Amino acid sequence: MNAAYFWAWLLPFAAGTPVALALSAPRRPGRIAMAIGYGIVLGMLAAGACTALAARADTTHVWLHAAPWLAALGVIATGIALYRQYRAPAVAPRSSGNVEYWKYAVIAAALASLLWRGSIIASEVLLRPTYPWDAWDAWAVKAKTWYLLGHYVPFVAVADWLLGGAASLHSGPAWAYPSTLGWMQVWFASAAGAWIEQLVNLPWFALWIGMLCGHYGQWRAIGVSRAAAAIGVYVLGSLPLLASHVALAGYADLWVATLFGFSMLAWLRWQERGERDQLLMALLCAGVLPLIKLEGVVWCLSLLVAIGFGALPSRWRWRAAALAFAVLLLVVLVGQAQMLFAAIGWVRSGSRVVDIPVIGNLSLAWHRDAAVGIVHSLFTQSNWHLLWWFLPPLIAWRWRVLRGSDALGLCSLMLLGCFSLLLFLFVFTDAAEWAESYTAVNRLIMHITPAVVSLLVLLWRQQPAQPERADTVAAHDPPPGPA
Amino acid sequence: MRRGLAVIAVVVVWLLVLGTAARIPWSAPLVARGQVTLEGQDFRPVMGAGVEDGSALGVGAIASDGNAMQSIPMDRLRAADYPLLTYRFEDFPRTLELLLVFRRADTPGDVQTVALPWPGDGVVTVDLKVASPAWRGEITELGFAEYATAQLVPPSIAFQPFRLDQARLTSPAWNALPRLLRQAWFGYQPWSLASINVVGASADPNASMPATLVVGALLSLLVCGVLLRWSRKRWVGGVVITGAFCWAALDARWLVDLSAKHRLTDTIYAGKSWQERARLQPDEDVAGFAQLARQQLDDTRRPERILVASDSTYTMLRLIYFLLPLNAAPLESAIAALPAREWPADTVIVLCLSKRWHYDDTDATLRSEARSIAVTPLFVGGNLAVYRLRRGGS
């Protein structure tokens, strides 16, 4: 490792953290953790964006071309964050309340176990060359090509590649995948001074740290006590499939999961606390999803629909829902229908077939083995510990809390919709084979898992926060609820 | 009185639940009725080299194909009577994978194989009836085979000498319960290409640790709650504490597994430079083919497009990745996209470990089933061949 690689880490962090601070109300509990978490993730993606915009012609010296843009972003965001901090009314320091010693012991043990696994997976990333299939077959191909060639070349379909006159075109099985993560890998490869896979994959470990910090900070900001938020971080960090995606770095799914979770929490914070900046943050995180992975389009639309639905006055919501249901019913009844989706093109549905551009042509049928596969994935395999066992009883137990909070209710509805979409995909379409063979099913479920953990943590709260006006947030900051 | 009853009921619940998870028949005795002990020294090396080492067999070398195998003839052993296999190795390297190989009297020409858990230095017990439907009939030969863990360990550094101490086949018995569950739940499972999709083994949901813990915990809570007449507060407290305990148990198991996985990574890559780590690929043969292909392509006019084919999709895609930044894509995709006659003239085709595609010398054509491509050979050596597209072919 060299000094450039060190700076290549520092700069995204120094640019991303002020952006998160600038979009967060000052003096809110968990603000620093939130800023670090969101900052790391957004900073790394910003580094990729700056590389894509400023260093296409010279990917060997990305540092020289992209760093000034990243630094400028950091300076501007720092200025806004400092201004907001200066303008915010001062509040008296709050007592954190008494926490029993046994709770300290439990939290310490939980965090120690996170540190232990963190050290293992960091070492795993730093030792092993890129290992999982799609990491070298799909996600790293563009980055490795661009970096080793020293400049950008477009990736196109094989037919275009063969017909193209110039040899500057490249192709491959994953030519259509989004390039955002590829550009980020070019940033780190360039700083490392060579295509060193371990150093190119290290952002996945930073992503894990960012995911945990970001969720902790947002939970605290929404009114979860320190103890409950710390246990929530342990629950999220202990999920085996998430840790596997870090240790075997290179897939895009953990990025999607993190950004989906971040977006939902920012949206929730906007709903509960009335912080308009957080709505911007939610839209930013949702907007990045399609740039990470094709399936991100679906999650982005889910979030946008949910945010739009939540923004409607309550008397309009059911009318809008009824209208949407009627349209859906019409589509199903008419059979041969075509529906325009602004972001993903034409969705065509026939009596036994549906054609979704980002997924493909799927014939509709009931797949029993896929349903069994999903049950195994959620309940008998070791991917999620007991997360999906705990979810239904906890919702039943805290049903009144859920009903009493408009924000939590909307989030639950959105997650239910996302989960239903996955169930439909795996149980009623050709994608069933991904569930029967346990290939994509867990990875797609992982996309919504951090958000589901957030729902559990927020249900665990004793008192859901009442909506507040943004300008009174700092003055009326409620004490955290007990664990 | 009630407390004593509750304790007994909870013990019975867990015996039932754990017994079901381990698939031990209810009618099985506490101690095995029959057993066949096979000492290491009785095994004979079939592949690789080994010598008697006391009562054990010391395996000191592998065959040229990277595999080792030791076997022993059996006197028509009835598989159904002896489903439990217990084995013990010493110094068995973490880099190797272990297989049980056996022949049955009904199919003497076929060799059956069962993947076995990594033995480490301890005693491991597996239920062969659960592990493989092939464990039936009469067994006429039994043995162990070892090879570098597939798609994970570079074969060149995989082998270390080890000792086969003993194998034992026994009838079902309840005293095997702890060893069966310890292996099913805490046994080392190396990373695999599927690890990004699913954690742990997905084969036997019956032995699922999460499901077993949940069922055992729920039944225990029910028994305690009813017998001890718990209040609502006690119920809630019991559920929360039990849930937290089960989560912690599963997480401890995952941490043990993660640490074991990491020890292998550490064994292979720790203390080495970035270049050495890059060289130590699990498929070092494919990396070698890529290097050779690159040399051959460097010796000729640098092609603008390279099409790669192999019988294995994994090998084909890995070769493309190793060849980067050369402008390579799968041959099959190109054929599906456009007829070969429309391909650019400077296209090169690389075949690696391919029997599906073969070169026909009579008309200088690459053929696969009904497809043919006119080419000029640039390099043909062993499992790698490089051809340049020839204009005028089909």
Identify the segments of chain B with pLDDT beneath 50: 202, 394
* Alpha carbons A143 and B56: distance in angstroms, whole number: 52
User: A388 — contact with chain B (CB < 8 Å)?
Assistant: no
Task: Calculate ∠ Cα B291-B193-A112, nearest 5°.
Answer: 115
pLDDT attached to residue B46: 92
> How far is it between the farthest Cα atoms of chain A?
72
Angle between helices B232-269 and B177-186 (to 10 degrees): 70
Nearest CA in chain A to B305: A167
Contact of B175 with B30, CB cutoff 8 Å = yes
Contact of B349 with B286, CB cutoff 8 Å = no
- One DSSP character per residue, A369-435 reads HHHHHHHIIIIISSSSTTHHHHHHHHHHHTHHHHHH-HHHHHHHHHHHHHHHHHHHHHHHSTTHHHH
Strands B123-127 and B138-148: unpaired
User: A140 — contact with chain B (CB < 8 Å)?
Assistant: yes
Per the prediction, chain A carries an average pLDDT of 87
More confident residue, A93 or A278: A278
Q: In chain A, what residues touch B191 (CB-CB under 8 Å)?
A: 131, 247-248
CB-count exposure of residue A165 (10 Å: 0-12, 13-18, 19+): exposed
- The answer to whether B325 contacts A144, with C-beta atoms less than 8 Å apart, is yes
Nearest CA in chain B to A231: B244
User: B314 — contact with chain A (CB < 8 Å)?
Assistant: yes
Three-class HEC string of B240-271 = HHHHHHHHHHHHHHHHHHHHHHHHHHHHHHCC
Which of B278, B304, B334 shows the shortest C-beta gap to A167? B304
pLDDT attached to residue B313: 94
Which of B196, B253, B270 shows the shortest C-beta gap to A245? B196
User: B52 — contact with chain A (CB < 8 Å)?
Assistant: no
- For an interface test with A, give the residue of B192, B197, B322, B335 to mutate (most A CBs within 10 A): B197
Amino acid identity of A311?
A
* Alpha carbons B176 and B169: distance in angstroms, whole number: 12
* Alpha carbons B14 and B7: distance in angstroms, whole number: 11
Q: What is the pLDDT of residues A26-73, one digit of tens each?
A: 878 899 999 999 999 999 999 999 999 998 999 999 988 999 999 999
pLDDT attached to residue A161: 92
Displacement of CA A20 from its chain's centroid (Å): 15
pLDDT attached to residue A479: 40
Strands B371-381 and B358-360: unpaired
- One DSSP character per residue, A203-254 reads HHHHHHHHHHHHHHHHHHHTT--HHHHHHHHHHHHH-HHHHHHHHT---SHH
User: A167 — contact with chain B (CB < 8 Å)?
Assistant: yes
A93 min Cα distance to partner chain B (Å): 33
Is the predicted pLDDT of residue A361 greater than 80, yes or no? no
Which of A132, A235, A382 shows the shortest C-beta gap to B209? A382
CB atoms inside a 10 Å sphere around CB B251: 22
pLDDT attached to residue A482: 36
B130 min Cα distance to partner chain A (Å): 17
* Alpha carbons B43 and A267: distance in angstroms, whole number: 66
Average pLDDT over every residue of A379-395 = 94
Q: What is the pLDDT of residues A276-313, one digit of tens each?
A: 899 999 999 999 999 999 989 999 999 999 999 988 88
pLDDT attached to residue A480: 40
Displacement of CA A119 from its chain's centroid (Å): 23
- Residue A469: how many CA atoms within 13 Å on its side-chain side? 3
Local confidence band at A359 (pLDDT 50, 70, 90 cut-offs): low
Q: How far is CA A162 from CA A171, B166, B330, B337, in A?
A: 9, 60, 12, 9
Q: In chain A, what residues touch B313 (CB-CB under 8 Å)?
A: none
pTM of the predicted model, to two decimals?
Answer: 0.91
Nearest CA in chain A to B322: A136
Contact of B79 with B169, CB cutoff 8 Å = no
Contact of A207 with A258, CB cutoff 8 Å = yes
Which of B199, B317, B330 shows the shortest C-beta gap to A240? B199
A89 min Cα distance to partner chain B (Å): 41
Is the predicted pLDDT of residue A4 greater than 90, yes or no? no
- The answer to whether B196 contacts A244, with C-beta atoms less than 8 Å apart, is yes
pLDDT attached to residue A469: 46
Task: Calculate ∠ Cα A202-A207-A213, nearest 5°.
Answer: 135
Local confidence band at A321 (pLDDT 50, 70, 90 cut-offs): confident
The interface pTM score, or ipTM, of the predicted complex is: 0.91
Which of A194, A380, A386 shows the shortest C-beta gap to B243? A386
